[in-house]
Structure 1
Amino acid sequence: MTLLDHLARAVAATPDKPAVHATRAENGTVRTLSYAELDRLSSEAACGLRRLGVTPGKVVSFQLPNWWEFTVLHLACLKAAAVSNPLMTIFRERELRFMLGHARSRVLITASSFRGHDHRALAHAVRDAVPTLAHVRIAGAAGTEGFDSLLGATDGADRRPDSDDVIQLLYTSGTTGEPKGVMHTSNTMLSNLVPFAARLGLGAGDVIHMPSPLAHQLGFMYGVVLPVMLGATSVLQDVFAPDTMAAQIRETGATFTMGATPFLNDLAEHVGGSGAGTSTLCVFVSAGAPIPPALVARARAALGCAVISAWGMSENGAVTTTCPDDSEARITGTDGTALDGMEVRIVDARGAALPADSEGRLQVRGCSNFAGYLGRPDLDNTDTEGWFDTGDLARMDAAGYIRICGRSKDIIIRGGENIPVVEVESLIFRHPAVAEVAVVGYPDPRLGERACAVVRLRAGATLDFAGLRAHLEAQRMARHYMPERLPILDELPRTPSGKVQKFRLRALLAEAPVS
């Protein structure tokens, strides 16, 4: 099956039911699409994409906030047998030039502006630099360049992709200094969502609120695909604010939501402090970073809902979750047990399975594992038996519940978003004052981690925090990746072989503030 089968079922059963409810924070406008409207608009958009030369297997990129156009576009890509390539709105020219060029994107759909940034100008700058990028369309713009120019007509040529065709290309940050294009099919994606929904008791009667960016795998799978698969209603929040989220939950009767730890923390603080409850909310799944046990207890008391811990990756969706009826110890002390169809194991450095409660490398095998990295099969980290090496360190108890202990790969997770350390370090090193740099994470109660650039300067050189930010902005690096502290040391700690000991830098930052 593909998502189009589920869409057809929902249209036949409940054509007038709200499918997507989206609000734009900049002007307060609300757009609600029924399932019949969602079906019609996605067919029109698929026809529009075909007019632009999008043929089966071609990549369509869209850098959009959580707007109704996002859901329409993914369904349109399915109907055109094209590949959806969602792009985070935080990406700027440097990231987009690489991703669009690597994907050989033919079309880019973006916002006119969002959160004060001119995305239209950005798109045109990128188009001039990417040879395959033939067309740019702008949500919110008028005329032939506007998103609406894709709509208004159908040609009856909608095509059902095979369930093993690649339908999504999503770039994730890694340790190679180069983003990797994760490829998913209908089978890898839906095989994750079916057992996920079953474990949490989700169905057509649910209203799914999504504050996480739809261009992140969490938002895409659980805010775009899951609601249509269930025949449920999605509520999209484009700019996160806890008071707005609480109000939207009350107004729409939302029953389920999912997001990284900061979303849970901020919503719980707002509801607990204001007394304006969210009584319809039944489940909050927190993923992207381990949840502090104290936050789980506080959130459950404030929100009155089940708090579910989950672990997963762009490469496989949510692999483990706790269960609604789990004990307090498991909810607060583990990241859950594998969903049906997935296996997890802990191995040592040689790949041998370890006994229960031993710390080691976390490996995953099963039906929702991705179809590989575009053009980089050498980076797949999957052995001949299908075990994918996640790069994370974990423990697993005798009942199969895991707890993430850390990461063997060099990535910082800030608010559920990966920061590509090698890439940031290479850009900082371009500054003429920098002799050495190591980017490490330091704990933050809200975001989980923030990035810190520890620097050794060249003799006689100077550099302050403002100067570092100006340098990185000139490199057109995404603002989300910016380090937030700049300790300057005379020497960086090293191993005898000369490798920087980042664990010592993390300990230094945890023990005493360094600025």
Structure 2
Amino acid sequence: MSSPFEMLPLPQGAADFRAKGYWKNRLLLDYFDDAVAADPDKIASIDAAGPTTYREMAAEVEAIAAGLISLGVEAGDTVSIQLPNRHEWIVAHLAAERVGAVTNALIPIYRDREIEYMASKARAKVIFIPDTFRNFDYVAMIGRLRGSLPQLRHAVVLGTGPAAPAADGFLSWADLAERGRARGLTAAEAAGRRPDPDDLALVMFTSGTTGRPKGAMHSHNTVLSGALPWPDRLGMDSTSVIHMASTFGHLTGYLFGVALPIMLGATGVFQEVWQPAEFVELVEEHGIQHTSGATPFLQDILTAPNLADHDVSSLARFCCMGAPIPRAVVHAAKEKLPGLNVFGGWGQTECCLVTMGSPEDPVEKVLDSDGRVLPGMELRLVDYAGEPVPTGTEGRIQIRGSFLFRGYLEQLDATLSEFDGEWFDTGDLGTQDEDSYVRLAGRTKDIIMRGGENVPVAYVENVLYEHPRVAAVALVAVPHPRLQEIGGAVVQLNDSDPFTLEDLRAFLEAKGLAKPYWPEILKVVPELPRTPSGKIQKYKIRQELSEEFSQEATA
């Protein structure tokens, strides 16, 4: 039985994707089973709780899978996961796959507002949450949302903190595993629930650039295709040690933290919260060779207070995503970490990582591009009339290929509006040089790139408009020396009383908005600049805030 969610038809190139090996027609479970059989005592993951072998992880997967069946999870049901980067995230995902369920990956920073919308939209039947994480009580949140999540039957809680549940509908990870071990799962039962590689595998919500976030649907084939080019491009194999601090709830964290180590039969080293000093220690302790993350992560490593005190010579590759790589950072990396290759990459939730550099790229290409298109994908640049632009000319980035998603959850009409025939319009602008290197030049969709995290402007503005004192608002990106961009809100009030950033933050906290989405600059104005037709002139607001903020930063 497949998911009740309708996906787009298979693309015209599907047969070619299979013939060329871009679609392997395999599940992540198949790679996992191969790794368990090949070397069961190999370390599969290392997290805050310590190491876990492939054998140990396999036993947990079987127990949690059988436990999910005992909770009434059927093939095609949705299982949401909002756990930090722990091996239990991977176990829950593989267990869901083992019973034919769809995984809905949720970022730990999400709060009531986002979870109410996303888990409801995804029709989550079971959700995995921590008891507490970063001083937030997830059990209390799900308790508040119960009435808004009609499909949700059970919340599985990881942890033994003070918020450990006792109410109906909650059970601990240990209790679920025990139920599963008591029930058991036969090979025939698992085989009968096995999804087809073209079935829906993963629902991951976008940043909501034009309103509420959209649930990007990936099949097993499309999402795993996005990880296939990495081993050949970067020389990875089963001996690789791969680090990930970006949340598994993002496609970057999922592809190159969850999927890639398993597909290689390698070892993953995970951080729940990015701490550069801790990362330096982990590199020395475990021989980490590769990491991927937002550009500020690299800056943090280079300024880590303990960098000179540890042997980090094993670290060979850093793939920077989400923002340009400043020249000063590349030069500093060459000076402080001469064995480290730094290169860029670009992608989206809908299409995985489409372009990527390589360790062999000249420094100028590293500085001036986001790499070249990976095998399995095609990219073209067009003008606003849809006509191809000459080499070196800025255009709208459109893509197609084996990594491309299979539509937005329950929004196929909205999906089709983003396509030009077989080409998906990414909403990004860029150029491509004579050597086929792509460079991002901007965005046609409104978004703020805060430290590699996409802040959905329209979504946040909609929340700001709910404030009873706000008559009009504009949220714009303001340059920041470390985070690349932060959010600046300019508001027009319907009264003359004082209104501070603290007032705004208290409102957003009460609304349950994820904290990284909160504006970090607030300016109250008597009237927002508008066009004669009444449209807010964001370019003027962006320019004024950028100038004002940069003056404050250097004062």
Corresponding residue to 1:339 among 367, 374, 377: 374
Equivalent residues in 2 for 1:177-326 (5 A)?
Answer: 177-270=211-304, 274-304=308-338, 305-326=340-361
Work out whether 1:481 is the aligned partner of 2:517: yes
Work out which of the residue numbers 536, 540, 543 in structure 2 matches 1:504: 540
Cα deviation digits, residues 341-389 of structure 1 (max 9, x gap) = 1111111001111111111111111100011111011222453642110
C-alpha deviations, 1:280-337, integer Å up to 9, x for none?
A: 1111111122222222222233233101200001111110011111111101110011
Q: Distance in 1 between matches of 2:331 and 2:382?
A: 32
Name 2:158's counterpart in structure 1: 139
Q: Match of 2:33, SS?
A: helix
CA distance in 2, matches of 1:51, 1:433: 50
153, 158, 174: which one aligns with 2:190 = 158
Please state whether the residue corresponding to 1:500 is helix, strand or coil.
coil
**What amino acid does structure 2 have at the position aligned with 1:457?**
L
Matched, 1:3 2:33: no
Aligned to 1:38: 57
Select which of 410, 427, 433 maps to 1:375: 410
Structure-2 separation of matches of 1:314 and 1:252: 30
Output the amino acid matched with 2:32.
L
| Equivalent of 1:149 in 171, 175, 179 | 175
Return the letter of the residue paired with 1:237: Q
CA contact (8 A) 2:289 2:314 kept: yes
**1:433/1:462 contact within 8 Å kept:** no
Quick one: distance in 2 between partners of 1:248 and 1:396?
A: 37
Structure 2 residue aligned with 1:175? 209
Whether the 8 Å contact between 2:277 and 2:307 is mirrored in structure 1 is no
CA RMSD of aligned residues (A): 1.6
What code does the residue aligned with 1:501 have?
Answer: Q
Q: Could you list the per-position Cα deviations for residues 140-178 of structure 1 after superposition, in whole angstroms to 9, with x for gaps in the alignment?
A: 147871012221412212243211111111111223321
Greater relative contact order (CA < 8 Å, ≥ 6 in sequence): 2
Secondary structure of the residue that 2:314 maps to in structure 1?
Answer: coil
Contact 1:124 1:136 in 2 (8 A): no
Distance in 2 between residues matched to 1:449 and 1:275, nearest whole Å: 32
Q: Residue 15 of structure 1: which of 40, 47, 72 is its match? A: 40
* Cα distance change on mapping 1:384 and 1:500 into 2, 3 Å: closer
Partner of 1:416: 452
Identity across the alignment (%) = 42
Partner Cα separation in structure 2 for residue 300 and residue 162 of structure 1: 46
Shift of 1:275: 4.4
Moved more, 484-493 or 74-83: 484-493
What residue number does 2:76 align with?
57
Contact 2:83 2:108 in 1 (8 A): yes
SS in structure 1 opposite 2:75? coil
CA-CA distance at 1:278 after TM superposition? 1.2
How much does 1:217 deviate? 1.1
What amino acid is aligned across from residue 371 of structure 1 in structure 2?
A: R
Structure 1 residues 510 and 176: alpha-carbon distance in aligned structure 2, compared to 1, 3 A threshold = closer
Find the counterpart in structure 2 of residue 129 from structure 1: 148
CA contact (8 A) 1:394 1:405 kept: yes
CA distance in 2: counterparts of 1:272 and 1:113, whole angstroms? 29
Which residue identity does 1:489 align to in structure 2? Answer: V
Q: Where does structure 1 lack aligned partners over 5 or more consecutive residues?
A: 24-29
Separation in 2 of the partners of 1:470 and 1:192? 40
Q: How far off its partner does 1:272 sit?
A: 8.0
Q: Which amino acid aligns with 1:125?
A: R
Q: Whole-Å Cα distance in 1 between the matches of residues 451 and 428 of structure 2? A: 17
Take 1:459 and 1:118, find their aligned partners in 2: how far apart are those partners?
A: 36
Structure 1 residue 491: Cα displacement: 2.7
1-side partners of 2:392 and 2:530: how far apart?
Answer: 31
Give the corresponding residue for 1:26.
none
Q: Secondary structure at the match of 2:257?
A: helix
Supply the distance in 1 between the matched residues of 2:412 and 2:330 (Cα, whole angstroms). Answer: 39
CA contact (8 A) 1:193 1:226 kept: yes
CA distance in 1, matches of 2:28, 2:218: 13
- Amino acid in the other structure paired with 2:120: G
1:356 match: 391
Residues 1:96 and 2:121 aligned together: no
**Number of the residue aligned with 2:437:** 401
The alpha-carbon deviation at position 129 of structure 1 amounts to 2.2
- The one-letter code matched in structure 2 to 1:158 is A
Query: Aligned to 1:145, what secondary structure does the other structure show?
Result: strand
Structure 2 letter corresponding to 1:19: A
Query: Which whole-Å CA distance do the structure 1 matches of 2:414 and 2:303 have between them?
Result: 41
- Aligned equivalents of 1:272 and 1:350: distance in 2? 53
Secondary structure at the aligned position of 1:486 is classed as strand
**Helix, strand or coil at the partner of 2:523:** coil
Change (3 A) 1:194 1:91: same
Native 8 Å contact 1:347 1:361 kept in 2:
yes
Aligned length: 509
Residue type at the aligned position of 1:168: L
Superposed displacement of residue 277, structure 1: 3.9
Give, in angstroms, the shift of residue 235 of structure 1: 0.6
- Following superposition, the deviation at residue 489 of structure 1 comes to 2.2
In structure 2, the partner of 1:329 is 364
- Do the aligned residues in 2 keep the contact of 1:271 with 1:303 (CA within 8 Å)? no
Q: Which amino acid aligns with 2:449?
A: I
* AA matched with 1:38: M
- Letter of the 1:217 counterpart: L
| Contact 2:377/2:400 (8 A) holds in 1 | yes
Unpaired segments of 5 or more residues in structure 2?
1-25
Asked if the contact 1:421–1:439 (Cα under 8 Å) also holds between the matched residues in 2, the reply is yes
Q: Is the 8 A contact 1:92 1:477 kept in 2?
A: yes
The amino acid of 1:476's aligned partner reads G
Deviation at 1:185, TM superposition (A): 1.2
Matched, 1:492 2:522: no
Q: Secondary structure at the match of 1:512?
A: helix
Question: What SS is found at the alignment partner of 2:448?
Answer: strand
Contact conserved, 2:280 with 2:307, CA < 8 A, in 1? no
Secondary structure of the structure 1 residue equivalent to 2:541: helix
Any idea what the Cα deviations from partners look like across 1:239-263, whole Å, max 9, x if unmatched? Answer: 1110001111111111111111121
Report the AA paired with residue 34 of structure 1: T
Is 2:319–2:345's contact at 8 Å kept on the other side of the alignment?
A: yes
Distance in structure 1 (CA, Å) of the matches to 2:511 and 2:33 = 46
The Cα of 1:273 is off from its aligned counterpart by 5.8
Asked if the contact 2:280–2:306 (Cα under 8 Å) also holds between the matched residues in 1, the reply is: no
